[in-house]
Amino acid sequence: MEADVTGGFEIGARAKTRCDALGAPPYSEAEGQLTRRFLTAAHGAALDALTRWMLEAGMSVRRDAAANLIGRYEGETPGAKALIIGSHIDSVRNGGRYDGPLGIVLGVDVVEALSRAGRRLPFAIEVVAFGDEEGSRFPASMSCSRAIAGTLDASALDMKDAEGVSVAEALAAFGGDPANIASAARKREDVLAFLEAHIEQGPVLEAEGLALGVVTAIAAQKRLMVRIEGTAGHAGTTPMNLRKDPGPAAAEAMLTLERICRAGTDGLVGTVGRMTALPGAFNVIPGAVEFSMDIRAETSATRDEAVLTIGAEIHAIAAKRGLSATVTLMQALAESPCDPSLMNLLEQALRDLDLPLRRLPSGAGHDAMVMADLCPTAMLFIRCEGGISHNPAEAVTEADCALAAQAMLHFIDKLERRERA
């Protein structure tokens, strides 16, 4: 049965306004910006809003031990394996309104279209709001999709935020169940596939005048913390030649990271997103400087070669200055290819809508790269203005959101046909 893309309401048209509604308090931790970190009150408020929307769309709703919100639209037979549609509800600090939430609210709209049309499928559909994709509160990220994929290392629960609160403590206070986090893991036999719709967060689709694209693979990434130790001292009385100052060493190290990544291939990129001089006073030569490194490439091999080279240069820079350096790996995510057969179904859906086909890789990480340990995955990219993301200027159009929802519904038609064959 072909998709009834009207289903009595304009599918996808309200997705943008729903993301906009979630862009301010109580769904943000701060006025005038969107910051919604894992297990905060803003996260809880956003799950309450999504729960209402999921119930209105005809789903049953539950939260698992890892604070994932899961809406379920049953198939023809109760307990059927599920197509999971989802993305993350957390944000970076002062982030954009669509990075994550758009993939969730589009999933809700797709289910509502099916429900209004009275359609039941040979599989269930679950819409999931993962709570921790960005890692903007705790050092690592993706803990919620890892919990569902069954790949979450128990030690992740011991990670602490800047206030010294552990994941386990915050999860328990939020109503999660850290002691039973393993209960969030899904069985392979219960999951058909994972589909994530997400803004491209890059300039390609807009530059080529395309609304939608099919993701081929997600880049490999590593997160590391660098600490360069010197000797704290008086900024006024210590002659320059007698200092053990980690500040200039860190600056030299960051320039080295930039040089090596600029010269790289295979999509190699490196970013220092966080830097701290300790103790952090105007008139104190720092005793230590810490900074983060986010290093990515289309393959783990290129990523790892860059990490090793940069790490060796950082140690050499420190030694040359009589300082010491430590480089600590915080998280590693391998590259994640999307499922070729699901990519083909997505392309057939775009053809149904007379849209040009465009395959492209994702430099951004997504929950899909973790869900790939559980099931075949597919990602649909949606054009975003100027390719801007992780920035309040992030923007999409209602028309592109409506097209994305229709493409997802047509994708489901193809999946239904495949499952009934």
State the residues that interact with ligand HGY by CB under 6 A: 133-134, 364-365
Closest distance to ligand HGY from the beta carbon of 143 (Å):
12
- Phi and psi torsions of 394, nearest 5°: -50, 135
Taking Cα atoms as reference points, which of 288, 300, 357, 285 lies closest to residue 332? 300
Choice between 107 and 365, CB closer to ligand HGY: 365
State the binding partner of 105 from ligand HGY, Mn ion, none, CB within 5 to 8 A by kind: none
Could you tell me if 90 and 134 are in contact, meaning their C-beta atoms sit under 8 angstroms apart? Answer: yes
Choice between 19 and 327, CB closer to Mn ion: 19
Among 23, 75, 100, 107, binds Mn ion (CB under 5 A): 100
Choice between 132 and 352, CB closer to ligand HGY: 132
Number of H helices, E strands in the chain: 11, 16
Distance CA 138, CA 43 (A): 14
Element (H, E) at 170: helix 167-174
Distance CA 85, CA 109 (A): 11
State the binding partner of 290 from ligand HGY, Mn ion, none, CB within 5 to 8 A by kind: none
Closest distance to ligand HGY from the beta carbon of 141 (Å):
6
Pairing of strands 359-362, 269-271: unpaired
For residue 5, give Cα distances in angstroms to 19, 99, 379, 403. Answer: 21, 25, 20, 10
Choice between 23 and 365, CB closer to ligand HGY: 365
Within 223-242, the residues that bind Mn ion by CB under 5 A are none
Contacts of 281 (CB under 8 A, 6+ apart): none
State the binding partner of 100 from Mn ion, ligand HGY, none, CB within 5 to 8 A by kind: Mn ion
DSSP secondary structure letter of residue 62 = E
Q: Residues touching Mn ion: how many (CB under 5 A)? A: 2
| Per-residue tokens: 173 | 């206070």
Closest distance to ligand HGY from the beta carbon of 46 (Å):
17
State the binding partner of 74 from ligand HGY, Mn ion, none, CB within 5 to 8 A by kind: none
Closest distance to Mn ion from the beta carbon of 143 (Å):
15
The full DSSP string for 69-137 is EEEEE--SSTT--EEEEEEE----TT--SSTTHHHHHHHHHHHHHHHHTT---SSEEEEEEES-SS-SS
Choice between 75 and 365, CB closer to ligand HGY: 365
Closest distance to Mn ion from the beta carbon of 363 (Å):
11
Closest distance to ligand HGY from the beta carbon of 195 (Å):
18
Choice between 98 and 123, CB closer to ligand HGY: 98
Contacts of 324 (CB under 8 A, 6+ apart): 228, 229, 318
202 binds Mn ion (CB under 5 A): no
Closest distance to ligand HGY from the beta carbon of 335 (Å):
13
Choice between 101 and 230, CB closer to Mn ion: 101
Closest distance to ligand HGY from the beta carbon of 134 (Å):
5
Neighbouring CB atoms inside 10 A of 31's CB total 7
Choice between 245 and 394, CB closer to ligand HGY: 394
Choice between 100 and 246, CB closer to Mn ion: 100
- Phi and psi torsions of 23, nearest 5°: -90, 5
State the binding partner of 365 from ligand HGY, Mn ion, none, CB within 5 to 8 A by kind: ligand HGY
Among 29, 99, 161, 352, binds Mn ion (CB under 5 A): 99
Closest distance to ligand HGY from the beta carbon of 365 (Å):
4
- Residues near Mn ion (CB under 5 A) are 99-100
